[in-house]
Structure 1
Amino acid sequence: MNAIHHMIDQLDARLDEYMQHAPMPGLAVGVVFNNRTIYAKGFGLTNAASGEPVGTGTLFHQASISKTAVATGIMQLAEQGRLELDAGIVAYLPYFHMADDRFRLITVRQLLNHTSGMPDEEDYEWDRPQYDDQSLERYVRSLRPRSLLSEPGENYAYSNIGYEILGDIIAKRSGTSFEQYMKERIFEPALMRESTYLKSEADDRLAAPHVLSLQHGYGGKVSDVFPYHRAHGPSSTMYAHVEDMCRYAIVHLNKGITADGQALLTQESYDELWTSYAATGHGEESANIGLSWFIGTYKGQRMVSHSGMDTGFQSHLVLLPDKSIAVAVMANADYGWLTVGSSILDFLLTGHFPTLKQSMAHHLAQHLTSHGIDSAMQEHERIKNDERYYSWEGEYGFIAAMLKENGYASEGARLLTLSAQLFPDSSDLRRALAGLLGETIRD
């Protein structure tokens, strides 16, 4: 058995075992090694209600990974001389205005690296979607009453709004719709023939979004709301399956050169995309922000990555450019961390496959909702040293918030009560519990 076949067998075995107890209904994993796809496979269910399995052709909502393709489109237009990265965005969208006069100072580059001072969106109107060609421009025009958080260029502050503006710039400078430009200039040359930003082109192949529910026991149920609104396409609605995401990763590992030798971007553009412009405070793996991409290190290796989360979906794309390695992971649930990617990276770098650990927080939450807090505490004592589980303090608060959001506030409060006993020194968990109970707490 050669090394690649051994790697494939290991991935199959570990991921099959992981999905037997994973909190999400469906998962797809793609692996690029030595600049070629060696693994692309779906696991679990695309829809928990219908029981349809995830396949390699199942499209997933990629959420904020969408932004990396927007940056590619902007860099293409810059190479063609249709825009300048350091020009003010009002030069390209004269109808763009904000209540804060400093909006005139915002440049294209600052939108790309999240230093524009732009606030983030709080309501994506997933429950009130718009589908028409004018929705993106209409959204940009609607920003008039808003104000900046800080002076443009001063601070890093992640903003989805900034990427909707960039999408509108792509449409206006290219003379076509944002979605058509991305399809013709990025997806088709990259041989991502089934990828799209339009839900109408993806509907019959899309995984269903799942949210946390207790309706039929602890687990995911199909969300009543699908995260689509055409005005938020640039920031969020790239739809792709696992094989296409591997092709996408290879193009970037090759610094813009596609499988058939076309150049999406020049090497010089990648030097700008992957330059660190500002510190993020997110930890070493995404310590700095480039132009859309997060820049950091993983086990001493240069790492370029982006993640995404929207209603019912999560995604993660990691590149180790100096090793010609990439891992793409996507799930049709928004309530469980995607932890398998780092274990796969470790396997690719060392040849040793660490345990794909399950979430102790989800395990105890499920136990609590069925048997109560005292039983969940006993379960924790039983498994607290079991290497098959990881335990992150912040995940308990996250799951409690998901339970509350989906109509199970009392169960969320019980989980936080449990977690406060597990982490008695955590002021964050005590504050979260107090907030859920509508109380005030002092340290």
Structure 2
Amino acid sequence: MNDIKNIVEHLDRILNEFVQLEPMPGLAIGIVKDYQMIYAKGFGVKDITTKEPVDKNTLFHHASISKTLVATGILQLVERGMIDLDSSITNYLPYFSMADERYRLITIRQLLNHTSGMPDEDDYEWDRPQYDDQSLERYVKSINNRELLTDPGKQFSYSNIGYEILGDIIAKVSGVSFEQYMNDHIIESTRMQGSTYLKHEADIHLATPHILGVQNGYGGVISDVFPYNRAHSPSSTLYANAEDMCRYAIAHLNRGSASDGQTILRTQSYDELWKQHASTGYGAEQANIGLSWFLGEYKGSRMVSHSGMDTGFQSNLILLPDKGIAVSVMTNSDYVWLYSICMSVIDIVLGTDLQHIKRSMAHHLSKFSTTSGIESALEEYNRIKNDELDHYYLWESEFIFIANTLAENGYSTEAIAIMKLSVQMFPESSDLHKCLNELLVKK
């Protein structure tokens, strides 16, 4: 399995099969092995109405993976002596304030490693976006009525707000807009030729966001809103394709050196970027937080990663720095979890002869439940248990996610049916019973 030709042929087969069987519109994957791009392909469609195929040039909204570029930009300015990681926010943004006086203690480093105590954002205003150059500064000024969750530096708590502040700091220190700085110092330097933080520059090649629905059968429906707002550019709005994400990954695998010899960071900056700053409680693969990057291990190898999810999109970028391996996965749907795909691809690149990517049993049975009824879904569950159990993964929590997602998208009847199915499958699960009761009360 280590021969690149065999890896490519194997991936083509199982990825095509996976996308055809799972209820997802499109997928793109980029792979780096031995510090070189070996794979960048698309599967499925950009838009379920036009049926235009995804290819290696299709751009996807990368959501929170955007934060890793922010951390890179901050460290570039640290290297130039323009930012001190342990200085207060107010040294760079004199207008910054919060209702909680502890804000004066927050440092740049604490924003980067999510230990600032900053709360998270719960409304990104995707349905009422801002497009002008002052959007980001206005947003940073607008949080002046918020309070911290904890003392700065006390514990890990993921915050998108912290990264909008960091983006505004980059803009004020550099003297150009946040998006312009990202383009000039990271995107161009790594030859991410199709990438941008500005949606209007991406529109020609941009995939359409899809959410979960049942209007024309169980699966993706086009989202009414697109997740774009310049007030949230730093935390969310990188648009990139599979090839560009490979180029970006190579620069980090090489500790700051892009494939054409340009440098985005000095080697010693990675001693900070990938240093364990706090425990996350997220499990072995993301056990600690560095500066933006999650740090852990997978099958004995050091793992550095970040994932992203916004309305209609998901993404994942995983590096195994000591192996020279990177995998970038992106999809224009927000409901089929990417973990099974990502780890299967990594296993194949590492030499494992997998015959298929495990599919979501929760999605498979939910489709049966909504199209053929609960009894039909239970019959299918029993068939799978007897004949194909190794083809699926089964997480109880995914039934809750699917049901809540459908309910939020206006399909409460179908959501309740799915939860009734799940409690028959797992009658002892208090979480499933609780979710069912909550949905019934709301209806």
Same fold (TM over 0.5): yes
Alignment deviations for residues 300-355 of structure 1 (CA, whole Å, 9 cap, x no partner) = 10000000000000000000000000000000000111121101111111342252
Report deviation, 1:417: 1.5
Match of 2:205 in 1: 205
SS of structure 2 residue aligned to 1:315: strand
Q: Write the distance in 2 (CA, Å) between the matches of 1:421 and 1:270.
A: 50
- 1:367 counterpart letter in structure 2: F
- Distance change >3 Å, CA 2–CA 77, structure 1 → 2: closer
Q: Identity of aligned pairs, percent?
A: 62
Residue equivalent to 2:32: 32
Question: What is the distance in 2 between the residues matched to 1:5 and 1:254?
Answer: 24
Query: Which range moved further: 288-297 or 345-354?
Result: 345-354
1:93 is matched with which residue? 93
Pairs within 5 Å for 1:332-343: 332-338=332-338, 339-343=340-344
1:358-397 map, 5 Å: 358-385=359-386, 386=388, 387-397=390-400
Partner of 1:175: 175
1:422 is matched with: 425
**CA apart distance, 1:429:** 1.6
Cα deviation, 1:331-388, whole Å, max 9, x if unaligned, reads 0000111121101111111342252011111111110011111221111111125121
- Given that residues 49 and 221 in structure 1 are in contact (C-alpha distance below 8 angstroms), is that contact kept between their aligned partners in structure 2? no
Q: Does 1:406 align with 2:409?
A: yes
User: Are residue 261 (structure 1) and residue 264 (structure 2) matched?
Assistant: no
Q: In the alignment, what sits opposite 1:43? A: 43
Q: Residue 319 of structure 2 aligns to a residue in which SS?
A: strand
SS for the counterpart of 2:94 is coil
Q: What's the counterpart of residue 193 of structure 1?
A: 193
Q: Is this contact kept in 2: 1:346–1:354, CA < 8 A?
A: no
One-letter code aligned to 1:155: Q
How far off its partner does 1:142 sit? 0.1
**1:435 Cα shift?**
1.7
Deviations 1:257-282 (A, max 9, x none): 01121111111111101011111111
> How do 1:33-432 residues align onto structure 2 when only pairs under 5 Å count?
33-338=33-338, 339-385=340-386, 386=388, 387-432=390-435
Distance 1:349 1:226 in 2: 36
Check whether the contact 1:343–1:354 (CA below 8 A) recurs between aligned residues.
Answer: no
Give the letter aligned to residue 319 of structure 1. L
- 1:93-114 per-residue CA deviation (whole Å, 9 max, x = no partner) reads 1111110100000000000000
Distance 1:437 1:192 in 2: 48
The residue type equivalent to 1:215 in the other structure is Q
Q: Determine the C-alpha separation between the residues in 2 that align with 1:119 and 1:421.
A: 38
Letter in 2 for 1:125: E
Question: Do 1:347 and 1:354's aligned partners in 2 also have CA atoms closer than 8 Å?
Answer: no
In the alignment, is the contact (CA less than 8 A) between 1:30 and 1:328 conserved in 2?
yes
- SS of 1:319's partner is strand
Q: Which amino acid aligns with 2:412?
A: A
User: Residue type matched to 1:79 in 2?
Assistant: E
CA distance in 1, matches of 2:134, 2:126: 17
Runs of 4+ with >3 A deviation: none
Helix, strand or coil at the partner of 1:309: strand
**Is the contact made by 2:37 and 2:246 (CA closer than 8 Å) also made in structure 1?**
yes
The TM-score normalised by the length of structure 1 is 0.97
**Which amino acid in the other structure matches residue 351 of structure 2?**
T
How far the C-alpha of 1:67 sits from its partner, in A, is: 0.3
TM-score by length of 2: 0.97
Q: Tell whether the 8 Å contact from 1:211 to 1:220 is kept in structure 2 after alignment.
A: yes
One-letter code aligned to 1:355: H
Alpha-carbon distance between aligned partners in 2 of 1:181 and 1:384, rounded to the nearest angstrom: 53
How many residues of Structure 1 are paired with residues of Structure 2 in the alignment?
439
Aligned-partner SS, 1:189 = coil
Partner of 2:328, secondary structure, is strand
Question: SS in structure 2 opposite 1:323?
Answer: coil
**CA deviation vs aligned residue, 1:192-247 (integer Å, no higher than 9, x gap):** 01110000110111000000111111110111100000010100000000000000
Q: CA deviation at 1:389?
A: 1.3
**Deviation per residue, 1:3-24 (Å, 9 max, x gap):** 1111111111111111110221
Deviation track 1:286-309 (CA, whole Å, cap 9, x = no partner) reads: 000000000000001000000000
Query: Secondary structure, in 3 states, of the residue corresponding to 2:45?
Result: strand
In the alignment, structure 1 segments of 5+ residues that lack a partner are none
Displacement of 1:422: 1.5
Q: Which runs of 5+ in 2 are unaligned?
A: none
Distance 2:385 2:100 in 1: 52
Q: CA separation in 1, counterparts of 2:258 and 2:4?
A: 23
CA distance in 2, matches of 1:24, 1:275: 36
Q: Which amino acid aligns with 1:366?
A: K
> Structure 2: which amino acid aligns with 1:416?
M
Contact 2:2 2:350 in 1 (8 A): no
Q: Secondary structure at the match of 1:249?
A: helix
SS of match in other structure, 1:329: strand
RMSD: 1.2
- Which residue number in structure 2 is paired with residue 437 of structure 1? 440
Contact 2:209 2:226 in 1 (8 A): yes
Aligned letter for 2:210?
H
Partners of 2:14 and 2:355 within 8 A in 1: no
- CA distance in 1 between counterparts of 2:31 and 2:428 reads 40
